[in-house]
Amino acid sequence: MKSFIKILILFFCGISVGQISFETAEYFGLSGNVKTIEEITYKLMFISGLDSNGKLIEQNWTKRHSLMSFDENNLLTKEVFIGVKNNKQTVDYIRNQNGVLIDLKSNGKYILDGHFDRVFEEREKKLLTIAGIIEKDLFIGDTIKSTYDKEGRISKIYYKKKSYNKLKIGYCDVLYDNNNIKSLNCYLDKGQLISTKTYDYNEYNKIEKIKERIIIDDLTKNINILFFDKNQHVNNEIKEYYDNGKLRYSILKKFETLKEVYKATKDSLGFVLKKTDKTFDLRGNLITLTTNYTKNGKYYESSERYTYDERFNIINFSKNSQDKIINNNFKYKYDTKGNWILKCFLTDSKLNKAKANALTLRQIAYHNSGKDEVLTKEEAINFCDSTYFNRLDMFKKDVEQNIKKGNIEVEEKN
């Protein structure tokens, strides 16, 4: 009979085959059966300059333009990014009949980076679970082959490793205690030990601690220790960094519901050099971030706070760092499906007096129902900042006066 560990691995790998399943309309915070969503971000600012044709430089110019398409199952099928010079980068998500991603086709790198950022984010969450850690341990990225014992469990892993710009073959021995993985020892091709990993279990046969030691030239380089809660999720992590066998510094992390809530960096004597604390709401949105650190003998502290509306979209971000205070506000206009079609970036803490310095305009089309409400650029600017066009007229008059005085330089329009 196959061991529990192997069943767990196979189950988890079955999930990871569809690793891009998180790229759905819901993942991007969209409700309803979205077909396409086009986003254009405009930067709103006044620039005293003329283009090469002698006209006032455009004051509300496109900063970002993108398009996403989804199928009727809410799975992402295409992304398009349009640059300021109308150059297009696209990526097509090729899926099989079950909706599992089987290929990516792209004519550029930008969107692929966004895709891999999302993959990396999900992978980091996975690595805070026992299943994700075991998968990583037993299915090393550059695995050449694996051998199995009579119980059908992986007993040895052969892999490729790049060391000092030379490609070397290494192997790992996997040891078990009954059905539980007990240790993982890895070597270079000549038998040089480069890492050890041990797995400790509690009385209920659940993993409570994993300790890994990284070795270079027979000296300890790093020690990483993971502690687990009753859900088999990481709740504490300790990383120790050594130089010539002596402790240089260490990092302590604490996690809640797969999110890092505390991080402290300490020197070899245990003195805290830097500390961060985070709090989240029940939906997983970041609420507060506090950072304390010492630099050149001076103590510094900064704090951030995030506030969201009833639809969980951010409406305020504030940061207080020494004598510097940042306060950004956001307001939205929503369609009948509850998706925002306009996001305003405001510069003043008082919404009724706020000036917009940017906005993002959306056009959303739905399967079977077409487009919902569509705003023009002018309507969007007026919604975000009702004083904008009056201020723009006054600004243009000032520019005309400066032109007469010869104070305006001609600039090439991008």
Q: What per-residue confidence (pLDDT) applies to 412?
A: 37
The CA distance from 283 to 285, in Å, is 6
> pLDDT tens for residues 348-394?
645 545 678 899 999 999 998 877 788 999 999 999 988 888 888 88
The whole-number average pLDDT for the span 154-174 is 81
pLDDT bracket for residue 59 (50, 70, 90): low
The CA distance from 329 to 345, in Å, is 6
> pLDDT tens for residues 197-243?
999 999 999 999 999 999 998 999 999 999 999 999 999 999 999 99
Q: Is the pLDDT of residue 10 over 60?
A: no
Q: Check: CB of residue 89 under 8 Å from CB of residue 112.
A: no
From 81-95, 241-255, 263-277, 331-345, the region with the lowest mean pLDDT? 81-95
CA angle at residue 251 from 249 to 254, to 5 degrees? 165
CA distances from 310 to 267, 307, 314 (A): 43, 10, 10
From 163-177, 217-231, 256-270, the region with the lowest mean pLDDT? 163-177
Q: Tokens for 162, please give them.
A: 């790049």
The whole-number average pLDDT for the span 55-83 is 86
Report the predicted TM-score, pTM, of the whole model to 2 decimal places: 0.81
Q: Is the pLDDT of residue 411 over 50?
A: no
The whole-number average pLDDT for the span 62-88 is 90
From 213, 211, 177, select the one nearest 193 (Cα to Cα): 213
Q: What per-residue confidence (pLDDT) applies to 400?
A: 76
The CA distance from 184 to 167, in Å, is 22
- Count other C-beta atoms under 10 Å from residue 325's C-beta: 10
The CA distance from 202 to 140, in Å, is 26
Q: What per-residue confidence (pLDDT) applies to 57?
A: 66
Provide the percentage of residues in the chain whose pLDDT is more than 70.
85
Q: Is the pLDDT of residue 7 over 50?
A: no
The whole-number average pLDDT for the span 41-48 is 80
The CA distance from 278 to 287, in Å, is 7
Rg (CA), the chain: 27
Neighbour-count burial for 189-220, b at 16+ CB within 10 Å, e otherwise: eeeeebbbbbbeeeeeeebbebbbbbeeeeeb
Q: Tokens for 78, please give them.
A: 């295409």
Q: What per-residue confidence (pLDDT) applies to 407?
A: 65
From 176, 222, 195, 129, select the one nearest 2 (Cα to Cα): 176
Max mean pLDDT among 32-46, 132-146, 230-244, 399-413 falls in: 230-244
Element at 163 (helix H, strand E): strand 154-163
Q: What per-residue confidence (pLDDT) applies to 30?
A: 92
Q: What per-residue confidence (pLDDT) applies to 54?
A: 65
Q: Tokens for 145, please give them.
A: 């082959």
Per the prediction, the chain carries an average pLDDT of 85
Q: Tokens for 283, please give them.
A: 């939906």
Q: What per-residue confidence (pLDDT) applies to 177?
A: 92
| CB-count burial class (<10 Å; 0-12, 13-18, 19+) for 228 | buried
> pLDDT tens for residues 303-353?
999 999 998 999 999 999 877 888 899 999 999 999 999 999 997 645 545
The CA distance from 414 to 412, in Å, is 6
pLDDT bracket for residue 12 (50, 70, 90): very low
